[in-house]
Structure formats: C-alpha cells, structure tokens
Chains A and B, each alone.
Chain A
Amino acid sequence: MQQQKTTALRRPGSRSIRAWRTRLMLMGLAAFGISAAHAAPADECFEKAGAYQGVNPLVLRAVAWRESKGDAAAINHNANGSIDVGQAQINSIHFPELTREGIPHRALTDPCVNIFVAAWLLKQKMVRYGNTWRAIGAYHSESPHERDAYARSIQAILVSWGHLQPGR
C-alpha cells in the first residue's frame, strides 16, 4: 500500500487515553490471539471499523484481500525502502503519525488494529475525494494510473464476491 503523503489529522491524546489504547492493543493482541494457531476471525473487525469511521466494511474486506489475501502477518518490502504491514498492508510512511496517535507499529500485526487503521486511512481519502472509487484507489496511490488500476481491482473483487454488479 504505497501512498503519498496523506493529510495528517491528529488529536492530542492524554496519557491515560494512550495508556488505555496501549492496553487495548495488548489485550487485542492477546484476545485475538495472533498466533497462527489461535488467530480469531477478524470478521467483526471489518464491521466495527467500517461502522466506526463510516466506511463500507465490504471495501475494507476487499482491500485486505487485495493487499494480502487476509494475511495478518504479511510484511512486504517496497522498492522505495518502505514496508507494508498486516492484512491491509499499512505502509511504514504512516508509522510516525500512528505512533503519535498511540499506535506502535508492532500493533499493526494485530488483524483488528490493522483494519481499524485501514479504515482510518480510507476515511481520510473519502473526506478528500468523497465516497468514490477515486478515494478507494487513493488508498493505494495518489498517482492517477495506479490509483485507477487499484480501484478497478477492488471493484473486480467485489464483483467476484457478488457484492457488486459488473460494470458499476
């Protein structure tokens, strides 16, 4: 998920909130059991993250499928030296901002945290471009060619899953 710079929308967080978040993430890591043997289905996370940010959970599912086939432990290197982490392949360019938001990059290997972060990034694009395919494509890249190709690939996944009519 290589991205160009995205709009930074930060909120000052108190120490207690950050502590709570850290705890939540640690609990999440434990509760969702990210070991291969204990990996809990992250189905609910798509719904919850989608409802929380107001993005379509099916799009989040398609993004996770497109990026990693839903592999929560996926870590990939990019040509520009950055890395993509987790099932939604969150790019390391976002690590500093996520750290400021109280989310250490290690937490991105938790499938649920990863999807919430993906929803957060997608919502940033939706605020910028509206509820459009352009916003979905911009999740991957702001470059028009790559953006449109990515949007088409997400569209194709949704069509193949029967959630979208071909040609819409």
Chain B
Amino acid sequence: MRLIALAAAALFLCNAAWAGQPAASAGPTVVAAAAAPAADKVYPPLPTLAMLPPASGDDDEAPAPHTTSHKKKTRQRDCHCAMPAPRLVVSDSSRAYLKDIEQQLDSALAQ
C-alpha cells in the first residue's frame, strides 16, 4: 500500500513538473504542450521550438563532422503518406499584396 502511495506521489510530482516547464526539452514536448498553461506565466508570443512535436525535417541540424571512412550511409526518409499535404498559397497577387502591406507599414512608421 505504501509503495502504491509513493508511486502515485511520484507520478503527481512528475506531472506537476511537466506542467510548469512546457518548453523544458524536446523529448517530452508532446506531454508538455498538452498540459494546461500556467495561470501565472506568460509564454513567448509564438510557441518555441521545444514546444513543437518532434521534427521530421533535419535541415536545421548542424552538419555532421566529416569522417575518413567512405561507408555509404543509407538515409532513411520518413513517410508522410498519411499526412495531409501542406497548402501553401504563394501567388503573384499574394506577393503584391504583401508588398503593398509592407509599404503601408513603412509609410505608417515613417510618419
């Protein structure tokens, strides 16, 4: 019985710790992101990198150090077949619109 109580207490403490540190590390981010935000804490305006689910792309990673071995590495690619295709809408009209907005902002700031 005491063991169960200890385990429950440990689990509770772990949960409390995660709730207080939503951006603690990349590993448990899914758990952290799902936790309710703390009422007394202001998070950054946009979610931090650590709050994202594990990244599928690796273009931000630092280049691997060169090795002298000439082994061919097989690179595994994640299959995103089940995921919906991202909808990116960048057209000439949207570019023109953005440029117009930028000019409006610049002129507004200049005044």
Contacts and interface: CB of A to CB of B under 8 A. Distances in A.
Interface of A: 9, 11, 13, 16-17, 19-21, 24-25, 27, 29-31, 33-38, 51-54, 73, 75, 77, 81, 83, 85, 92, 98, 101-103, 105-106, 109, 113, 116-117, 120, 123-124, 126-127, 131
Given A92-B109, A103-B45, A116-B45, 4 more contacts: A11-B44, A35-B89, A52-B47, A106-B101
Contacts, number: 100
B83 interface: no
Given A17-B49, A53-B42, A37 B104 contact: no
Contacts of B43: 52-53, 120, 123
B44 to A, nearest CB: 6
Contact of A102 (B37, B38, B46, B104): B46
Contacts of B111: 77, 81
Contact of A101 (B45, B87, B102, B104): B45
A92 B105 CA distance: 10
Interface in B80-107: 86-91, 93-94, 97-98, 101-102, 104-105
Contacts of A92: 109
- Binding site secondary structure of chain B: loop
Nearest to B101: A109
A117 B46 CA distance: 7
A123 B44 CA distance: 10
Contacts of B102: 106
Contact of B93 (A25, A37, A54, A117): A37
Nearest to A54: B37
A25 B47 CA distance: 11
Contacts of A21: 46
B42 A123 contact: yes
B53 to A, nearest CB: 13
B89 A75 contact: no
Nearest to A113: B46
Nearest to B33: A52
